[in-house]
Structure formats: structure tokens, C-alpha cells
Amino acid sequence: MIPFILRRLTTLVPMLLAVTLLVFILMSLAPGDFLTPVKAQRDINPALIAELQKSFGLDRPWYQQYALWLGNVLHLDFGYSWTYKVPVAQLIAQRAPATILLSITSLLLAWTLAIPLAVLAAARPGGWIDRLTSATAYFALAIPEFFLALLAVWMAARTGWFPIGGLTSLDHDFLSPAAQFLDIAHHLILPTLVLGLGGVAGTLRVLRANVLDVLQAEYITAARAKGLSEKVVLFRHVLRNALNPLLSTIGYAFAGLLSGSLLVENVMNYPGLGRLVYEAFIREDQFVVLGSVVVACSLLIVGNLLSDLALAWSDPRVRYGR
Amino acid sequence: MAQPVFPIALCALLLLSACSPPPKISRQTHPLPAGVDIARSEIGRSGGVFIDSSPGEPSTFNPLVSEDATSGGFIGLFLDSLVHNNAVTQEVEPGLAARWDIAPDNRTFTFHLRPGVLWSDGHPFSADDVVFTFQAIYDPRFPNRAAFDLSVDGQKFKVEKIDDLTVRLTTPQIYAPFLETVGGVGLLPKHELEPAFRDGTLLKSWNVSVAQKEPQRLLATGAFRLRSYQPAERIVFEANPHYWRADAKGVRLPYVDFLVTKLVKDANASTLAFATGQTDAEGLSPDNVAWIDRYASRYGFSVFNRGPSPNTGFIWFNQNPGHDTAGKPFVTPYKLAWFTDRRFRQAISHGIDRQGLVRGVLFGRGQPLWGPETPANKKWYNPNVTQYPYNPARSRALLAEAGFQIGPDQKLHDRQGNLVEFTLNSNQENQLRVNMATAFKENMRDLGITVNLSFLDFGTLVGKIQDSYDYEAGMLGLTGGGDPAGGISVFSSKGRLHQWYPNQKTPATPWEARIDQLMSDQLHTLDYPTRKKYFDEVQKIMSDETPYIYLVTANAYVGLKDRWKNIRIPPLGSLVWNLDELWTPLLTP
């Protein structure tokens, strides 16, 4: 098992190299750089611009800049944000909790809704639960997340039932801890729904097919023949086996949630990594972009590794490393 | 966490919890400093929360790092300076210095600090802080914008401490905008920042991370001090208990307890927050005024017209005679001959229907612009510049005089028979500008001139204008206003933003040489009428020679909740510049 984990982690290195190199080339090809807005201000001295260019290394060719950055990364220094003058790692750590919170709530929403619904739907294929969930799932899959986010913002603005974006109210600082908790929960409802709904639909469709498959298996007939109740058959025997393929996709799901949150965060004014990265891209704040790309790639690979491990744990037939 | 199991019950609960009013804070009462400044405004009542929104995130709380207006605005709330620029009168007023003397040589300024002023941590403010601030600014280890603003021809000012409450600043030569420039320098606390200064980490102090974790370390002399900062969400300032101003009854300012700024992602979100009654004040663009006004009575706000904004919009032709490293001229030679002909530029100017632009693009909320300053800059605006009202007949006459003629194809041709055609570049992000460029193209077609429009990404456009010079005509805007010294990089032929032909070694034309002379002369006298005379001439020359063909200036609008008193709306700059004097009889919004 340990060699397997190590082997998987070493694949991270070439992948990160390739991805960061690509991002670096694309950013250097893009017109302008971080100092373009400064250059367009009328009362900034050219000597200051030259000095800033030098201190940022923007006067050197891109491959030199990239080599310098790589050298620093080897010492676990991901560089400084030019905008905020704060180490990139610190900046990401500042914004990550909000995004992780949103990812967890959406994943929870997706699984807690999808699993029971899928089992119920598969138990009576063609029944009203099945037809209703199928129709809803197709509908949810057909709506892009950003559009759903816009709809949610519009709904919030029209009805006033939910706050329009953000994670906390303006008077959050003045509230009691319990009220602060409720305040955050209130703000999380819409983004969670928007980000989680696609996940509900996707998970539901995959799981329903799996459950149907497993229901045909002979050991299910055996279990029923033993006289086990339908509930026990469905949730202990069928579900346990049907979940395995789903476990191996959870890593992708997590990485997908992060990229989805980039859109949703920007539309819904949510204070997480997505907004930070988007603003860094617009401003061409190189090291923040690179740092967040590194985080996203690592999450994808580590997420997949974790889901493989989860699969090995849940399915005794799966063995790695030998 | 929030599974919407019982959505209705949950919502009801949350709505209840969301409606609790902010707690009344008990202010620490400290005695007023001996040098207290008594405000002359109407006497108000303490309390209340002022809420606004900012479409940009502060990038730092360190004045040495700040280059953008957003960060600068937040820093200005807690760091005070020796003198203030009154936004309404555009005059210099006492700040942390109660008064100052100017020696007869017009270069030596002695500032007398207010006695008894304390930092927000209770530590006394003194001349040491002033000297420390200038030391930090001039230190080559910390490249910063202020170091360049506070020097004349690369020479620094001399800063001496006379005693604890007296500082003397000497400029190397007479430097006209001295007081205005010093007014923009937030003074730093020596006792707090000296360790960072010593070990060279000063530029990393007071960054957004410190502001989030230890807001109390950002010491204040201004009306407010930082209470909390949540990135991408909000910034909360609270009244500084040691602020040095009070009202006529001896009540310490500011009147408001808290200043909450909602951080939103763009200007649209900011406008929307105001239009739905969430914030107290907002600058509005002309195209938003009509629909926002409809919500005025529902949310209890009013929309004010501040008159012309300080923003100028203009078109110019590339007059750069140089060539690139491959020897190819930046501008095709026969086109360069048109662009450097004053009559051609004047003809274009007469051919633009500016009233039409105001009506069609700005919905009547603006006015034509003829020179580099807009009427918003009351102190420096010259109304007597040459105007080019819409007159296609006059355009045709000027073009004929310059040897252009309409060919059989109904298009304009020059003396050699070249078709008159050029490409106008602008940036795609600004919709008003895109509309104006389109209208301009139509106007030019009436003269037989073919204009191709090219809308570029802002970065690409700046690259063309400032680095590659590979373009024919451009359309951009600059924010004017303030002291003429701010425009040197535009007007001086050596300037970086002298866009029609930047970074000249020697002035290309006699009139550019004259402008160079005037800009230098106005910088080296403290006498306002003399400076005004010089700068008036600069504006006149700019309008005569029309290197920039000025278009229109939009009016500026602000929306403000009616509950606020002591509002004085300045033509320029921040709407709530006298935030310490604002008060409200209605404490809950």
C-alpha cells in the first residue's frame, strides 16, 4: 500500500511542472503585465515603474522568471503576491476555508440527497419516484452552474428571502456567536444549492444504474430468499456494492467542485479562492495564479488517491501494490 | 451544514436574527488634546453606522506600498497628514500641523504640530513620527511612489526636527505643489514601525494579513481606526477614541460609531447595493441615474448632480516620427504628414458633433469638452480656450486649405491622391467609449474620411501607445483635476503620457517647447495668480494645437441616504471627505 501511495505522489511532480510551465507561457503571451494599469496613470514617475519592473523581475525573459520561481518553490517558497505584498501561501490559506466550507456542504448535499433517492428510484424502476427524479436530474444537468447562480441571485434579490451573495452579513461582527453561526448558514444555502445540484443529478444517475445492476446479482436473490427485509437488502447489500464505482469518482468530484466554485463564487460574490484566483488572473498577479494552479492540481491528484484508498477499504477485492 | 430540511422555519429564524440592530458602543472617554481642532460645522449627535461599498479590494494598508485609489482611500481614513486639502474649496487647511510658516526664500516650511495629539494606542504623536515617515519614504530599500512625488528633479526635501512639536521641511528649489503633496502623506507611527524599518521589512508591514489578524496594530491618527477586515467581505472601522477634532460643544468627532464598507466584486454590484438600500452613499455613472432615481423614495435616498466630472475623454493621432528596430516607421510617412498638420486636426475637431455625443451616449448628462481641464477643477480650469463647435463646412474648408479634396468616389484624398483612412484604437472594457468611437466614425464619414475601429484589451492598447508605438489614432480618457503638477507627464514633451509623441529628447515643435517652459515655470513659484496664468496658457495652447481632440465630459452623480446631515458634496474626489462631521438623527437604518 505504501509504495502505491508513493508512486502516485511522484506522478504529481511531472504533472505540476507541465501545468505550471503551460500557465507561465500563456501568461507571458497575454498582452500587458501586472504593471500595465500603473503605467496608464498620469502621475507615476517612470523611474518608479522601472524600479518596480526590476524588483518584480518583469524586465527578464519569461524562462528566466520561471526558473527563478521553480528554484524558490524547491525551498517551499511560492513567492509573493505583487498586489497584496503577502506570501502566496498565506493568501491562499486566508481564502481557502470559505471555499472548502462551500465544497463540503455541496458534496454533503449531493450525497445525502442522491444516495437515498437513487436507491428508492432503482427499487421500483419506472415508478413515480424514478420518473420524477430522472426528469429533475436531467433538468438539473442541463442548466449550467453559472446560469443557476444568476437565477439564484435574481431570486434572492426579488424575494429577499436570502442574502445577495457574501458569506456574512454586514453586522456580522456585532452578532452573538450563535447568531453568527446562523448568519453563515443562511448565506451558505444558495451557493450550496447552486454548486450541489449538478452533483446531486450526476451522482443520482450513476448510482441508480449501479443499483439496478446489483439488483440483478444472484446474491441479492439469495438475500431475499433468506427472508431479509427489503430495507436491509437495499441499504446493506445492494448499496454497499453499488457505491464502489462512485467512490472512485469522488476525487474528480472534489476537484470539479473547486473549479465550479470559481464561477459560482464570482457570480455570487462569495469570498473564497475562486474570486482571489479570478482577480489575480485579471491583474496578472503571476505567483498567485501559479500558486492556485499548484493547489488545484495537487487537490485533483490527492483527491483521486484518497478515493482509490477509500475503494480499497470498502471493497476487499481491490488490492494495490502487489 | 445548512441542509434545507425545514426551509421555511429556518428562514423565519434567520430573518429574525438578521434584524438585530448593532449594539450601542460605549466610547472610551479620553480628554481632548490641548491642540484640539473645533469643527465649524453644524452640531450633531454621536452614534450610528455609516455603510458604503467598494468595488475594489484594498491591496494593502501600508501607504508606502499603495499605488491604487482604493487602498489609498482606506489608508486615508486612519492615517492623518500634516495638512488637509479641503475638497470643496480646494484650499490647504491645517491637519496634524495646527499652523505653518513659509520663510521668505519660499523653500523653507516650518510646521507647528498640535500639542497633545495621541495615536490610537495612547502613545503621543510628535515630530519624531514626521521625521521617521520621511526617512522611510526616502530609503532606497523601500521603492515607493511618494519618494518621487516628494522630490524635485531627483533631489529630496530636507526634514529636520526643531523640537518635539516643530518640524522644518526645506525643498531644494521652489516647489509649487509642496503643501498639496505633503497633504497626501499619511504620517507613520515611529514607535510601532521602527523595528520593521530597521530590519528592512517595512514594505511587508501593515499588509492585508496583518490587518485581518491584528487590526489594532494599524495605529491611527485619523478619525477612524480599523476594527476588523474580512477579505472579499467587509472592512469595519470604528471611531478613533483619540481623534483630535471636536465640535463646538466639545464632543469628540467623528459622530458615527462605525464605518462599514462592503467589498463587492465590481462597480455594478456596488451600484446595485446602493439601489437596493443596503448602503448609504455611492458614486453613480450617468447611464445609471435614471433607473436608480426610481428607488429614491422607497429607500430614502436622493441623487445629486455634482456637475462635470474631472474625467476627460479624447482622441489623438500618433505623431511619432521614429521607426522600430527593423527600420519601419511607426506611422506611414504620408499619414504622419496629415497627423502633424494642425489644420487636419482642427478639421477633425470641427467635424465631431459633441452635442450629439452628449445626447446619444451620455443621455444628456454631460457637456462638450474643449481643453485638458474640466470645469470640475475650479481652481485651475481655463474657460477661455479655443472651441471647435460642430461645423462640417468649416472642416471641409480647413481640409481644402491643407490640400485635401473629395475625389470622384466621394471620399477624401490628400494632395498625392492617397485615400484618407485611419484606424482608431480604444479599449473594449469601456462601453461609453465604444459608443463614442462609433459615433465618431459616423461623423467622419460625412467628411469623406474612412475610420476603422479597433477595440483592444486595455493591456494591448497601453502596450501599443507606450512601447511599440505601432498605431495611427487612439481614444482614451484621463482623470484630470488637482494641481497642474500632476499633469507634467502629459503636457511636457519629455513625458511618458505625452501620448501623441512621448519621451521626446528635445521638443519637436515650438509650441511643445513653450508648454515645457510654462510647465517648468509654474512649478517654481508659490504665487497662485502667476501659476494660474502659466497654466491657463498651457490649456490655451493645447486647445489651439489640438494634439488631443477633446470630446465630452460626463457629469458625476452621487446617491446619498437622506438620513445623513452635514453633507457637503465637493465637485472632485470622495463624496464623504468630511466623514468625521457626518451625523444622523435616525440611528437605525
Residue type at position A95: R
**Each residue's pLDDT tens digit, A50-76:** 878 887 788 888 888 888 888 888 888
Residue A30 has pLDDT above 60, yes or no: yes
SS (H, E, C) B368-416: ECCCCCCCCCCCCCCCCCCCCCCCHHHHHHHHHHCCCEECCCCCEECCC
Residue B417, Cβ density class (10 Å: 0-12 exposed, 13-18 middle, ≥19 buried):
exposed
Residue B59 has pLDDT above 70, yes or no: yes
Q: What is the pLDDT of residue A80?
A: 82
Task: Choose among A38, A47, A266: nearest Cβ to B67.
Answer: A38
Beta-carbon separation of A164 and B276 below 8 A: yes
Q: What is the pLDDT of residue B13?
A: 45
Closest CA to B259 of B73, B129, B410, B104: B73
Closest CA to B566 of B303, B242, B255: B255
Beta-carbon separation of A169 and B18 below 8 A: yes
**Each residue's pLDDT tens digit, B60-106:** 999 998 877 888 889 999 999 999 988 888 889 999 999 999 999 99
Q: What is the pLDDT of residue B22?
A: 53
Q: What is the pLDDT of residue A4?
A: 80
Residue type at position A74: L
Closest CA to B476 of B495, B491, B462: B462
Q: What is the pLDDT of residue A162?
A: 84
Q: Which of B288-302, B375-389, B478-492 has the lowest mean pLDDT?
A: B478-492
Q: Which residues contact A154 (CB under 8 A, 6 or more apart)?
A: none
Q: Please, are residues B129 and B190 in contact by the beta-carbon 8 Å criterion?
A: yes
Which residue is listed with cell 491584528? B214
Residue B11 has pLDDT above 60, yes or no: no
Residue B387 has pLDDT above 90, yes or no: yes
What mean pLDDT do residues B264-292 have? 87
Who wins on pLDDT, A39 or B313?
A: B313
Percent with pLDDT over 70 in chain B:
95
Helices (H) and strands (E) in chain B, counts: 19, 25
Q: What is the pLDDT of residue B12?
A: 45
Task: Choose among B2, B263, B265: nearest Cβ to A192.
Answer: B2
Residue B327 has pLDDT above 90, yes or no: no
Q: What is the pLDDT of residue B26?
A: 63
Beta-carbon separation of A175 and B236 below 8 A: no
Closest CA to B404 of B353, B450, B448, B440: B448
Q: Is A274 on the interface with B (CB under 8 A)?
A: no
Beta-carbon separation of A186 and B18 below 8 A: yes
Q: What is the pLDDT of residue B5?
A: 39
Spatial separation of the C-alpha atoms in residues B418 and B411, rounded to whole Å: 10
**Which residues, listed in sequence order, are joined to residue B224 by a DSSP beta bridge?**
B239
DSSP B465: I
Contacts of A51 in chain B (CB under 8 A): 143
Q: What is the pLDDT of residue B10?
A: 45
Residue B34, classed as helix, strand or coil, is: coil
Spatial separation of the C-alpha atoms in residues A287 and A65, rounded to whole Å: 11
Between helix A286-314 and helix A88-123 the angle, nearest 10°, is 40
Angstroms from B270 CA to nearest CA on chain A? 11
Which residue is listed with cell 450525497? A111
| Alpha carbon distances (Å) from B492 to B19, B478, B511, B536 | 57, 15, 11, 15
Beta-carbon separation of B486 and A40 below 8 A: no
Who wins on pLDDT, B116 or A295?
A: B116
Cell of B338: 496629415
Angstroms from B237 CA to nearest CA on chain A? 11
Alpha-helix residue ranges (DSSP H) falling in A124-249: 128-142, 145-159, 177-215, 218-225, 230-232, 239-247
C-alpha dihedral sign at A299, A301, A307, A310: negative
CA dihedral B457, B461, B463, B466 (to 10 degrees): -160
Who wins on pLDDT, B226 or A23?
A: B226
**ipTM rounded to 2 decimals:** 0.75
Beta-carbon separation of B14 and A46 below 8 A: no
Distance of CA A61 to the CA centre of its chain: 33
Q: What is the pLDDT of residue B111?
A: 96
Residue B285, classed as helix, strand or coil, is: coil
Q: What is the pLDDT of residue B359?
A: 92
Phi, psi of B426 (to 5 degrees): -145, 175
pLDDT confidence tier of residue A313, bands split at 50, 70 and 90:
confident
Task: Choose among A40, A175, A189: nearest Cβ to B462.
Answer: A40
pLDDT confidence tier of residue B25, bands split at 50, 70 and 90:
low
**Which residues, listed in sequence order, are joined to residue B329 by a DSSP beta bridge?**
B323
What mean pLDDT do residues B7-15 have? 45
Residue B14 has pLDDT above 80, yes or no: no
Residues 199-258, chain A, touching B (beta carbon < 8 A): none
Cβ–Cβ pairs < 8 A, chains A and B: 166
By C-alpha distance, the chain B residue nearest A196 is B3
The chain-wide mean pLDDT, for chain B, equals 89
Beta-carbon separation of A44 and B145 below 8 A: yes
Cell of A76: 517551499
Angstroms from B457 CA to nearest CA on chain A? 8
Q: What is the pLDDT of residue B482?
A: 81
B468: left (phi over 0), alpha (psi -120 to 50) or beta: alpha
Sheet of strand B421-427, all strands in order from the earlier edge strand to the far edge: B450-456, B421-427, B473-479, B311-317, B548-550
Residue A1 has pLDDT above 80, yes or no: no
Q: What is the pLDDT of residue B282?
A: 92
Cell of B233: 467581505
DSSP characters over B86-138: -TTT--EEESSEEEEEE-TTSSEEEEEEPTT-B-TTSPBP-HHHHHHHHHHHH
C-alpha dihedral sign at B141, B144, B146, B151: positive
The chain-wide mean pLDDT, for chain A, equals 83
**Which residues, listed in sequence order, are joined to residue B229 by a DSSP beta bridge?**
B235
**Each residue's pLDDT tens digit, B571-589:** 777 777 888 899 988 765 4
What mean pLDDT do residues B397-412 have? 93
Q: What is the pLDDT of residue B9?
A: 45
pLDDT confidence tier of residue B154, bands split at 50, 70 and 90:
confident
Q: Please, are residues B249 and B43 in contact by the beta-carbon 8 Å criterion?
A: yes
| Alpha carbon distances (Å) from A98 to A102, B337, B360 | 6, 60, 45
| Alpha carbon distances (Å) from B169 to A125, B146, B172, B174 | 87, 15, 10, 12
**Each residue's pLDDT tens digit, B430-459:** 888 899 999 999 999 999 999 999 998 887
pTM: 0.82
Q: What is the pLDDT of residue B425?
A: 94
Closest CA to A46 of B69, B168, B148, B248: B148
Q: Which of B229-233, B265-269, B522-526 has the lowest mean pLDDT?
A: B265-269
Contacts of A269 in chain B (CB under 8 A): 264-265, 269
Residue A257 has pLDDT above 80, yes or no: no
CA dihedral A296, A299, A304, A307 (to 10 degrees): -140
Q: Which of A105-119, A301-315, B190-204, B373-387 has the lowest mean pLDDT?
A: A301-315
Tell me the range of A133-147, A232-246, B301-315 where mean pLDDT is highest: B301-315
